Amino acid sequence: DVKVTQSSRYLVKRTGEKVFLECVQDMDHENMFWYRQDPGLGLRLIYFSYDVKMKEKGDIPEGYSVSREKKERFSLILESASTNQTSMYLCALGPGGGLAVQETQYFGPGTRLLVL
């Protein structure tokens, strides 16, 4: 079974703090994604990565950065957390790397972040 884990299910941080959200996969996939999900706005792509040390901006990268030093780990960083970054954050594995699409569309369990 595919395993995508995220470092925390729930997180409470203060405004201005630096926040690290981690995503770890056990499938050796190249492509990994970070989304946030908000009521009424749906799922929006923040950043994605096609390989180690590679990153691409998604639709809403402002206020975020990412790190991919190892293939299995993709980290989302909130440089200085703000209240409008309170959201559900979802990591996903994407298609590609020679694998069929249906084998790679997996989401992690999500991290619900509250910024006070």
Partner 1 sequence: QKEVEQNSGPLSVPEGAIASLNCTYSDRGSQSFFWYRQYSGKSPELIMFIYSNGDKEDGRFTAQLNKASQYVSLLIRDSQPSDSATYLCAVINSGYALNFGKGTSLLVTP
Q: What are the CB-based long-range contacts (under 8 Å, 24+) for 102-110?
A: 104/27, 104/29, 104/31, 106/2, 106/4, 106/27, 107/4, 108/4, 108/5, 108/6, 108/23, 109/4, 109/5, 109/6, 109/9, 110/6, 110/9, 110/37
| Residue 110 in contact with partner 1, rule: CB under 8 A | yes
Q: Which of residues 17-76 bind partner 1 (CB under 8 A)?
A: 31, 33, 35, 40-45, 48, 50, 56, 58
Using the rule CB under 8 A, give the single segment among 12-20, 61-69, 76-84, 86-94 that binds partner 1: 86-94
CB closer to partner 1, 10 vs 14: 10
Given the rule CB under 8 A, which residues bind partner 1? 31, 33, 35, 40-45, 48, 50, 56, 58, 90, 92, 94-96, 101-102, 105-110
